[in-house]
Amino acid sequence: MAKRIKIIGTGSYLPEKILTNFDLEKMVETSDQWITERTGIKERRIADDNTAVSDLMTEAAKNAIEMANIPVEKIDGILVATVTPDMMFPSTACIIQNNLGIKQGFAFDLSAGCSGFLYALEVAHNFIASGKYKNLLVIGGETLSKITNWSDRNTCVLFGDGAGAAIVTESNDDSGLLSSVIGAKGEYGDLLYQPAGGSRMPASKETVEKNLHTIFMNGREVFNHAVRTMVSAANEALETAGVEGSDISIFIPHQANVRIMQSTAKRLHIPIEKVFINIDKYANTSAGTLPIALDQAVRNGKIKKGDLILFDVFGAGLTWGAAVMRW
């Protein structure tokens, strides 16, 4: 890697409303025991009707900017990863740029499902490596509750809302991104998708009545692909960084299913006590899981200077990514 990037500030923001498994028991045919045993989820946060993903992301960004102690005038661009934008255009990144009072630089969204934040981090790395940009704001987050079919017990128990952010800049020491790998296999796109709302299937009375604007998922196949792909991506990132799984100080995987995280860690020879898990409180926030977990780990003192962090993600597309960073 020509120039190394590092994160100098993190932030996150979660809606106040909590929806527990016991609440879901009253909505669909399910149980707290069933959800907990199969996913590790106990509760999730839900944005209210008047809150858009840009609102969550703006607050997360403010927290990251405050930690980085950087004036907004020095932010050269904003990259937003989400599959639940405020609207198709303008981009959510442009809305956030206005919310933060940033008058300079670029702003755009990218869509890579749950892998979105790591995709955006890779883009930020290449932008900074070009020498054209110095400080970038990278945000991942979702309001998945707004595209969830709350009558589908197989999917409605899995998702939540939230956002995380990071200020990324060039590293001038041995800290920063040591390796990064991203990939995709579009032939598996039909395993996890939202059918309606785009140019293929524009909104109509029929699409609304059939809940085609919500999440459709083949859970079993997604699970199988997730474990294999996350292990493969992580091994590639570890090898490129020249480290072993046993060298990792903290493993931050995508928070989709606790069994996926446990299985991945086991295959990477990373002790479970080194795995950061918050899925029990927030469920799957897609592009938000990685930056939210990172921010909480930093603020809770679980990450210290010099620690080696392994990130590992998997999402709709199907997409994936892994990265090793020295804090």
How many helices (DSSP H) and strands (DSSP E) are in the chain?
Answer: 10, 13
DSSP per residue over 223-255, as a string? HHHHHHHHHHHHHHHHHHHT--GGG-SEEEE--
Give the pairing of strands 176-184 and 161-170: unpaired
254 classed as catalytic: yes
Is residue 229 a contact partner of residue 318, using CB atoms and an 8 Å limit? yes
Is residue 11 a contact partner of residue 165, using CB atoms and an 8 Å limit? yes
* Of residues 248, 290, 303, the one with CA closest to residue 272: 248
Q: How far, CA to CA in Å, does 50 sit from each of 46, 55, 86, 93, 146?
A: 11, 9, 11, 19, 11
94 classed as catalytic: no
Helix or strand (DSSP H, E) at 117: helix 116-129
* Of residues 312, 306, 251, 277, the one with CA closest to residue 117: 312
278 classed as catalytic: no
Is residue 61 a contact partner of residue 100, using CB atoms and an 8 Å limit? yes
Q: Among residues 94, 114, 135, 225, which one is catalytic?
A: 114
Q: Among residues 125, 156, 254, 257, which one is catalytic?
A: 254
Q: Among residues 21, 135, 257, 284, which one is catalytic?
A: 284
* Of residues 135, 150, 60, the one with CA closest to residue 96: 60
Residue 294 neighbours by CB distance under 10 Å: 28
Q: Which are the catalytic amino acids?
A: 114, 254, 284
